Amino acid sequence: MTKILLINPPLLDQTKYKKPPLLSATPGTGLSYLYSFLKKNNFNDCKIYDFYFDDWKYVNDTLNKEMADVIGITCLTEGRANAFKLISMIRKIKRNTIIIFGGHHSTYMYDQILVNYDIDYIILGEGEVKLLNLLRHIEGKIPLNLVDGIAYKKGRSIIKNMGNLHNYIDNLDDLPFPFSEEQIEIFDKYPDFEKIRHFEAKKLSENIYKHKKMISLVTSRGCPFNCQFCSSTLFWGKKWRYRTPENIADEIEYYYKKFGFRYFNFADDAFTIIPKRSIGICKEIINRNLKIKFDCTTRSDRITDELAMWLKKAGCIQIALGVESGSKKILKTINKNLSINSIIKAFNILNKYNLDPYPLLMVGNPGDSRETIKKTISLLRIIKPNRVAVSITMVFPGTELFDLAMKQGFIDRDYWLSEKPPPFYTFEHSLKKLRKWSFEIYNYKKTKYQLKTLKLKKKSIRIIKFVIRNTFKNYNKIREYVKIRFGIKKNEMIYQ
């Protein structure tokens, strides 16, 4: 029997690039779906290891203990360097282990990865059926040319099995729930909910929050939209596939009764694409008397009065809306296909039901300027959210923005062979200017005087931190210089 490991690599430390660690209050569902799907199809000698918060010694010891025949590794763009680091570690432990990569980064950069790293196969896009068929091939049950949606190296050539490349699962209700009893201990490694999602934690009663953990649900796959900065459509497909309200409520009820979860995050890119379906989910939650709280992300043009009412009744406490910009020009440039009026209308409806909507905003999209930033701030002063989430636009492979950045000479494919994080899109404006605009948007409620005072305060804090950091950093150098310059012996040094 083939022994299989599914691995999430350790967190990649990118602080030297001034990037904070990517932390989450809950594990992702990707590997867990693969694990459950393989178990359902009788690949029982399968284990999942989430090494995200573990050190490399533990990883090495685990790999030595397991001695797996096949290892599947998630490769995402932000942490790709640690996924690559796993390859050499595995090869030293058991040379003939079959290594399979999956995930967004390996899907878009499969040819580069196969040329530069010693791996056997890459799963392209949605993975359950493709991985199952690949394992059947590895066990000698089907020929390799019948395994659609994979890439591999044959001699010096890169082979991409096209066939039914997208091979998507149309009926998502057929998938087993991702987090089974064997996997639930994964949550112990993740931070308590309040440490990552403190805005939401403040709204929870003691009864809801006593579990101190949240769990993510994916209720649909695919996206009918094509935003310039997003690669979701390329990975999951343009056809939007969705689970039934009954199936989703079954999963919620399972986690609710079996493991005691009370807070849920609907992790879909747009949870309410069909409002009627979302209302059906809410009604199922209510009918089953599931006393939960949850949040979700969606589009403003998919909000209705009836939907907001049912979301509130079912336990929704917060909704993030992908607004991106208050400028019509920018919304058109990034293919957002949203009107400013639909954004304002959505916030008015959600505020009426106290659903605490907040906008997800971006700074630095192609065409952004002082004028477009002013329009974003003007929009914020109309919709008046309690908080905003602002990010500087980043370039990821598999996006239209990456193709544009390539044409502009801003980035090339070799960039992804480094361990550097995805770059901020600074082709048109400096990072300093983009951070300034982000600061102004984030503090949109402030007057010009308050904003100026806040900037001075932040600048003073930065200077103080710089002085302290460099004082300690250079302390030994300064001390050695003093000793040499004035001939002071070690026991004569005066320590302050």
Q: Domain extents for the chain?
A: 4-161, 192-445, 455-492
pTM summary value = 0.88
Give pLDDT, residue 378.
96
Spatial CA neighbour of 27 closest among 242, 250, 205, 188 = 188
The β-bridge relationship of strands 263-266 and 293-298 is parallel
User: Hey, how many other C-beta atoms are within 10 angstroms of the C-beta on 292?
Assistant: 18
| Rounded Cα–Cα distance for residues 323 and 227 (Å) | 12
What's the one-letter identity of residue 287? N
Structure confidence by residue, pLDDT tens digits, 462-480: 666 666 666 655 555 545 5
Length of the chain, in residues: 496
User: Hey, how many other C-beta atoms are within 10 angstroms of the C-beta on 160?
Assistant: 15
| Rounded Cα–Cα distance for residues 298 and 319 (Å) | 7
The residue to which tokens 């002013």 are assigned: 374
Give pLDDT, residue 495.
26
CATH number 3.40.50.2300 is the correct assignment for the domain at 192-445: no
Spatial CA neighbour of 127 closest among 105, 149, 155, 146 = 149
Give pLDDT, residue 486.
44
Give pLDDT, residue 418.
94
Instruction: Tell me which DSSP letter residue 121 carries.
Output: E
| Rounded Cα–Cα distance for residues 55 and 267 (Å) | 28
Range list of H helices, 424-447: 431-442
Phi, psi dihedral angles at 242 (to 5 degrees): -140, 155
Q: Return per-residue pLDDT of the chain as tens, 496 residues.
A: 799 999 999 998 888 888 887 888 889 999 999 999 999 999 999 999 999 999 999 999 999 999 999 999 999 999 999 999 999 999 999 999 999 999 999 999 999 999 999 999 999 999 999 999 999 999 999 999 899 999 999 988 999 997 665 678 999 999 999 998 888 888 888 888 888 887 787 777 777 767 778 899 999 999 889 999 999 988 998 889 999 999 999 999 999 999 999 999 999 999 999 999 999 999 999 999 999 999 999 999 999 999 999 999 999 999 999 999 999 999 999 999 999 999 999 999 999 999 999 999 999 999 999 999 999 999 999 999 999 999 999 999 999 999 999 999 999 999 999 999 999 999 999 999 999 999 999 999 876 656 667 666 666 666 666 666 666 555 555 455 444 444 444 333 332 2
The β-bridge relationship of strands 46-50 and 70-74 is unpaired
| Rounded Cα–Cα distance for residues 7 and 59 (Å) | 10
Largest CA distance in the chain: 84
Give pLDDT, residue 493.
31
| Rounded Cα–Cα distance for residues 300 and 343 (Å) | 5
406 CB-contact burial (10 Å; exposed 0-12 / middle 13-18 / buried 19+): middle
CATH number 3.40.50.920 is the correct assignment for the domain at 4-161: no
The β-bridge relationship of strands 241-242 and 263-266 is unpaired
Give pLDDT, residue 158.
95
104 CB-contact burial (10 Å; exposed 0-12 / middle 13-18 / buried 19+): buried
CA distances from 36 to 135, 155, 167, 266, 480 (A): 15, 34, 19, 19, 61
User: Hey, how many other C-beta atoms are within 10 angstroms of the C-beta on 202?
Assistant: 9
CA distances from 10 to 7, 123, 471, 477 (A): 9, 21, 33, 35
| Rounded Cα–Cα distance for residues 377 and 326 (Å) | 7
What's the one-letter identity of residue 320? A
